[in-house]
Amino acid sequence: LAYFLAEEQLRSLLPQSVADQLSPQFNAARNFLANLEGNGLALWVQKVRALPNSKALIAAPISEEIWRSVTEGLLNNKQLEVSYLSRETAKRSQFHLHPAGLVSRYSVSYLVARVEGYEDLRHYALHRIKKAEILAEDAQIDPSFNLDKHIAEGRFSHRKQAEATSLVADIAPSLAWLLRETPLSKQQSIQPLPAGVEAPEGWQRLTATISMDKETLWWIYALNNQIRLHEPEEWVAEIKASLQQLTQLYN
């Protein structure tokens, strides 16, 4: 059962060579469960599902050849020569990469790597790599590099500032209930609205310490008329501008 459930989750994280070695175990587990009758564990796979809390896009396809080359290069700390399709220019470019890490995010997997001749690390979507060749030379990455720190610094979340900021908003009763059960952050309070504030009945004041990243802003957009944002002011201005553009678009 563990092999069966793990296969789907590990597919975008394992080096291809490891996946190849585990393939017989995965197949055996699948066949074994399929042939069990009247066993609770065999039925378990029909009774549990893991769902994302937002719209899940279909994963971008990655050829087995590309996945094998990239993961083996990363696994063995080898440089890569890749042909990469740029989203900005819609043209292919040749890159000599020093791979540092691999991040699976939503429906896209990214190679964290340094381009030969540059010191900064960048992210390359694996489905845009059209050709990859493992080179004999070892990858040269700063020994102090830490993937968890890299992620925590907001490199994947389009963060506008490193330090946390305060979010202040009026929220609908249903959203207040949800955020009490599953808080937006560890530093959060939901209180009655201050005196004199006009709002629909039952609305409350949310105050939370957050990272100023695009994911939080997109979450606010998705709430539509269940939230009225007061701070940060930069986001308030951005939302107002978006509303004007939407009005023009739908008119």
Half-sphere exposure of 113 (CA within 13 A, CB side): 28
pLDDT band of 241, cuts 50, 70, 90: very high
Q: What secondary structure does DSSP assign to 179-191, as a single string? A: HHHS-SSSSEEEE
- Which has the higher per-residue pLDDT, 153 or 178? 178
Q: What span, in angstroms and rounded, lies between the C-alpha atoms of 35 and 243? A: 56
pLDDT band of 164, cuts 50, 70, 90: confident
The model's pTM: 0.77
Half-sphere exposure of 10 (CA within 13 A, CB side): 16
Sheet strand arrangement including 121-125 = 121-125, 108-115, 92-105, 78-85, 129-138
Query: Which among 19, 143, 5, 2 has a CA at the least distance from the CA of 70?
Result: 19
pLDDT score of 161: 59
pLDDT band of 158, cuts 50, 70, 90: low
Q: What values do phi and psi take at 144, rounded to 5?
A: -80, -5
Rg, C-alpha atoms of the chain? 23
Query: Which among 184, 192, 191, 193 has a CA at the least distance from the CA of 165?
Result: 184
User: SS3 of 123, please?
Assistant: strand
Answer yes or no: is pLDDT of 64 > 80: yes
- Mean pLDDT (the chain) is 90
- For 82-106, the pLDDT digits (tens) are 999 988 888 899 999 999 999 988 7
**Whether 125 contacts 108, CB under 8 Å:** yes
Answer yes or no: is pLDDT of 58 > 80: yes
Which two structure tokens, joined as six digits, stand for 44?
A: 């378990």
pLDDT score of 87: 85
